[in-house]
Amino acid sequence: MSAVKKYLKEETQWKQLGFEHLKSPDFYLSPWQRNRSSVPLLIFRMFLFLGTLAIVIASMVYYIQNAMYRFWFIYLTHWGLTVILLTTGFATAVSARCHFYGPLSAEFCLPWYVKTFWVLYNISVPIGFLITIFYWSVLYEAGIEEEMNHGLDVAVHALNSVIVFLLLITSKHPSRLLHFHHAIVFCFIYLIFNLIYHFAGGKNPDGDSWIYPVIDWSKPGVTIGIVACVALLLVILHMITVGLAAARDRIASRVLHPTDSGKTEQLPLRQQQA
């Protein structure tokens, strides 16, 4: 119990709102490896990025073929998928940069691209889980099939969570409790878009005045209640993400016993691995 109190005391300090983290290798090394090679995580992240890119392209092509390309951008699902694509892209870029040009320095502050990756990661993981839960528990049961193709529907609304989960368990950098607001701000921006789209006369592919039937601004009371429930669920999912990250680190530290390779941190990692 004392360990939990200590953890909560540390995680709820105001400084945790920022992006200070002295162990910069945590952003390009996996907790499941014994050496200091950036190659394994670089390759894995590249596969995640290419897999996400394939899903995005397939979804967009399907909408274009059905002359509904303008509707692709109105769904939170596709917004979330785009963020996951950016997250895996930045994750790959961070690993590649460290592999070819050497380790990061966190002496003063982390580079902007690492901070960008961290923010995108904080958004994409809980959002990915939220989209999967919300779609299959609410929308699918109501007969809503966004992709109009079951196979693509599964890829967009299920594989997205698999991708962010794999990104989560193979990453080493921390997930902080106070970073929950990143995903909340993202959803708030979408909510503003949803509201403007409705009152500007926007329609869904079936000609309805709402994007999602459960978020119908002609029924503001019910809609606001649902939005509040979704926001609460998003906070819970962020806490679950933090818990999964803590469990990941604890299990990895018990299963593996990383040893220092003794190679200098001043050389590009590709030279260290030679």
Enclosing domain of residue 201: 21-262
Number of domains in the chain: 1
| pLDDT, average across residues 194-223 | 91
- Percent of the chain, pLDDT > 70? 86
Residue pair 230/187 in contact (Cβ under 8 Å)? The answer is yes
Q: What confidence score (pLDDT) does residue 264 get?
A: 40
For 190, the token pair is: 């979408």
- When pLDDT is cut at 50, 70 and 90, the band that residue 265 belongs to is very low
pLDDT digits (tens, 9 = 90+) for 16-75: 778 888 788 899 999 998 888 899 999 999 999 999 999 999 999 998 988 888 899 999
> What is the distance between the alpha carbons of residues 224 and 176, in angstroms, rounded to a whole number?
28
- 231 lies in a domain? yes
- 273 lies in a domain? no
- 14 lies in a domain? no
Please list the alpha-helical segments (H only) found in 66-156. 76-101, 112-134, 150-154
pLDDT digits (tens, 9 = 90+) for 122-141: 999 999 999 999 888 887 76
243-261 exposure pattern, b = at least 16 Cβ within 10 A, e = fewer: eebeebeeebeeeeeeeee
Determine which of 15-24, 38-47, 156-165, 184-193 has the lowest per-residue pLDDT on average.
15-24
- 38 lies in a domain? yes
Query: Pseudo-torsion of CA 175, 180, 185, 190, nearest 10°?
Result: 90
- 272 lies in a domain? no
Helix (H) or strand (E) holding 185: helix 180-199
The 3 state secondary structure assigned to 202-248 is CCCCCCCCCCECCECCCCHHHHHHHHHHHHHHHHHHHHHHHHHHHHH
> What is the distance between the alpha carbons of residues 92 and 103, in angstroms, rounded to a whole number?
15
- 269 lies in a domain? no
| pLDDT, average across residues 248-259 | 81
- 141 lies in a domain? yes
